[in-house]
Amino acid sequence: MRGFNCEYLGTYAQTELGHGTNLRELQTTAEYDPETQEFVFNTPKLESMKWWPGGMGKTVNYVILGAHLITKGQNHGLHTFIVQIRSEEDHTPSPGVTVGEIGRKYGMNSNDNGFLMLKNVRMPRSHMLMRHAQVLPDGTYVKPKSDKLSYGSMVFLRVVIAKEIGKWLRKAATIAIRYSAVRRQSEIEAGKGEVQVIDFLTQQY
């Protein structure tokens, strides 16, 4: 309910400086400690720092973190966890958290895309998103019914992105073609008058 009321803000932190497309090679770890029933999060190398997440540079208090789940000494691959990265009181970074903005980009500069490094950051067991896979209090791993469940929503989002980009491209092409038909500029043959911009071969490609 507090999330619905915007009492705190979050983002999805999966991509790392070293790897984006190749999710299998992500390096952030979430190691379960059965003594305290907590996960211990680390970004062990420079290239494992989270890189890109929208709103992480300055705004959010929490991330849904993609990390390799290690329990009872075994790596079970990428899973997702809720990790608090800033205080809800004064917005300072949590202990073990280094966070900031990645800087200027070619576009979308109104969005504070961020970087994030974690050093032995601890969160309770309940912070793992356990609808499909689970870690029991003693550290036993329970597999999801289907491995595909873990990346289904990501695939869906990629389809939406491709669909949206197609929509904007369609609008841009319509505007450019209409303008090329209306605008006359320069002569192709001297003395014959200015032609429609669309008559130039380079414009047609």
Ligand X SMILES: Cc1cc2nc3c(=O)[nH]c(=O)nc-3n(C[C@H](O)[C@H](O)[C@H](O)COP(=O)(O)OP(=O)(O)OC[C@H]3O[C@@H](n4cnc5c(N)ncnc54)[C@H](O)[C@@H]3O)c2cc1C
Options 6-14, 74-82, 117-125, 196-204: segment touching ligand X (CB under 6 A): 6-14
For residue 188, the minimal CB distance to ligand X (Å) is 38
| 11 lies in the site for ligand X, by CB under 6 A | yes
Contacts of residue 137, defined as CB under 8 A and 6 or more positions apart, other chains included, come to 34, 37, 125
DSSP classification of residue 46 = G
DSSP conformation class of 188: S
Strand 38-42, strand 121-124: pairing: antiparallel
Q: Give the residue nearest to ligand X (CB).
A: 20
The only residue of 34, 54, 100, 144 in contact with ligand X, by rule CB under 6 A: 54
Nearest one of 91, 23, 88 to 57, comparing CA atoms: 91
Structure tokens, 122: 């601890």
Interaction mask 19-38, ligand X, x per CB under 6 A: -xx-----------------
Nearest approach, Cβ of 34 to ligand X (angstroms)? 29
Q: How far is CA 157 from the centre of its chain?
A: 11
Structure tokens at 82: 């809720």
Return the ∠ at Cα 143 (arms to 82 and 97), rounded to 5°. 25
Binders of ligand X among 90-119, rule CB under 6 A?
108, 113
Tell me which stretch binds ligand X (CB under 6 A): 51-59, 116-124, 163-171, 172-180: 51-59
Region near ligand X per CB under 6 A, out of 7-15, 130-138, 141-149, 175-183 = 7-15
Contact positions toward ligand X, by CB under 6 A? 11-15, 20-21, 52-54, 108, 113
